[in-house]
Amino acid sequence: MPLKAVPRNERQGLLIVYTGNGKGKTTAALGMVVRAIGYNWRILMVQFIKGDWMYGELEGYKKLAPNFDLERMGKGFVRIMGDKRPIEDHIQAAKNALNYVRKKMAQDYDIVILDEVNVAIREGLLTVEEVMEVIKNRPRYVTMILTGRNAAEEIIEAADLVTEMTEIKHPFQSGLMAQPGIDY
């Protein structure tokens, strides 16, 4: 028996933040994607930092089509892992991604995920005010999920749900490198 979704005009979208130094922020957002697709909702995920690396989400999301759209708009990790791009390239990519969200969020999406947007703010690629403007102007029924460590206090204050991932133990501490299917 198919699940019955609450009509959009009866829904109040939430602002959800997954932050902290532990793993699992994007993964938590993707878990909500799976749940929402069960109700035939449409989801947009825009990645603000992840660049041209290949990782499992890029193939896995295709299996959730046509309900899930993923757009990689960042230029890669900022100021770490050998980043040699001019900061202006990262800033322009982040601004383009936020403008993309502005245009697309009212186009039949029920959930909009701003993946690693907290990092984009922390690194100075976007301002808290720019992101808050998008949050405040989303359609009433749209739930917005923001991921990334170091969420700004203003965003935490505005959020309906905030979960902080806390690292207690990580395989990297034992010398194990990131693994496909687990870490990326």
**Is 107 within a domain?**
yes
Residue 115's pLDDT band (boundaries 50, 70, 90)? very high
Q: Is residue 182 part of a domain?
A: no
The verdict on residue 116 lying in a domain is yes
Inside any domain, residue 176 = no
**pLDDT digits 0-9 by tens, 64-83:** 999 999 999 987 776 666 65
**Which residues are CB-neighbours of 163 under 8 A, at least 6 positions away?**
16, 17, 18, 19, 20, 28
Mean pLDDT, to the nearest integer, of 75-95? 78
For the chain, the domain total comes to 1
Q: What pLDDT is stored for residue 176 in this prediction?
A: 81
Distance CA 132, CA 148 (A): 15
108 and 139 Cβ atoms separated by less than 8 Å: no
The residue ranking higher by pLDDT, 171 or 65, is 65
Backbone angles phi, psi at 14, to 5 degrees: -110, 160
pLDDT at 17: 98
> How far apart, in whole angstroms, are the C-alpha atoms of residue 129 and residue 62?
33
Does 3 reside within a domain? no
- Which residues, at least 6 apart from 179, have a Cβ–Cβ distance to it below 8 Å? none
Classify residue 183: in a domain, yes or no. no
Q: How confident is the model at residue 143 (pLDDT cuts 50, 70, 90)?
A: very high
Q: What is the pLDDT of residue 53?
A: 64
Query: What φ, ψ does residue 15 adopt, rounded to 5°?
Result: -110, 115
**pLDDT value of position 93:** 93
Write out the residue range of the structural domain in which residue 84 sits. Answer: 8-167
Name the band, by pLDDT with cuts 50, 70 and 90, for residue 20.
very high
Residue 181: CA atoms inside 13 Å, Cβ hemisphere, count? 0
Structural domain includes residue 181: no
Given pLDDT bands bounded at 50, 70 and 90, which one contains residue 4?
Answer: confident
Kindly tell me if the per-residue pLDDT of 28 is higher than 70: yes
CATH of the domain at 122: 3.40.50.300
